[in-house]
Amino acid sequence: MGLRSLESVCWENMSHEFSSRRKDGHSISFVKSMSNKPSLIDRCLGGELLRFAIVGAIATAVHVFFYLSLYPALVARATTANLVAFSLAVLVSYAGNSRWVFRDTTSSSTQLVKFIASALTGVTLNTFFAWYIVDYLKVSRYLSVVVMITTTPIVVFVLNKYFVFTGNSSN
């Protein structure tokens, strides 16, 4: 399906056109939005998966910002700055994933613990991929990054969807 036809499908799903003829023979079109239909993101761009990617990008930006800010400002060790930045990014990610991505209306300390376990699974996977590909196989670190960014987000998404956010979801 080409971009033009995808755009047409999305537009047709998003709106409904009403036409009427004026007395002089000209037609007038009115486009009415169908608010009871899912949003453009939900219909045409993968819904939860796209929202998950957006929240992940925001959390990553928070992580990088605080890591780069804390390291020189507090004269903290790089590992300490990274731990603080990672913790803040996890909180941002939890808020975004629970409220926007999976729209889970329940919230509990158990859910937060599960989310942290999911995030730590992601870190563990990335650490494993770095060790296995770079240190063990002696292959390029760039390959490890490709494996990390294509595999870990999918695993973490599945964990979040089916293990963490299983409560009253309004999806």
CA distances from 31 to 130, 143, 150 (A): 52, 49, 40
Q: d(Cα 3, Cα 44) in Å, to the nearest integer?
A: 11
pLDDT recorded at residue 162: 92
Q: pLDDT of the chain along its 171 residues, tens only? A: 444 444 444 444 444 444 445 566 655 544 444 455 666 555 555 688 899 999 999 999 999 999 888 877 665 677 788 888 899 999 999 999 999 999 887 878 999 999 999 999 999 999 999 999 999 999 988 998 899 999 999 999 999 999 999 875 444
CA distances from 28 to 22, 31, 102 (A): 7, 10, 40
Q: Is the pTM of this model over 0.85?
A: no
User: Kind and range of the H or E element at 40?
Assistant: helix 40-44
Q: What is the dihedral of CA 5, 47, 100, 17, to 10 degrees?
A: 40
Contact 116, 82 (CB under 8 A): no
Question: What are the residue boundaries of the structural domains of the chain, listed by start?
Answer: 1-44, 46-164
Six-digit token pair at 23? 């007395």
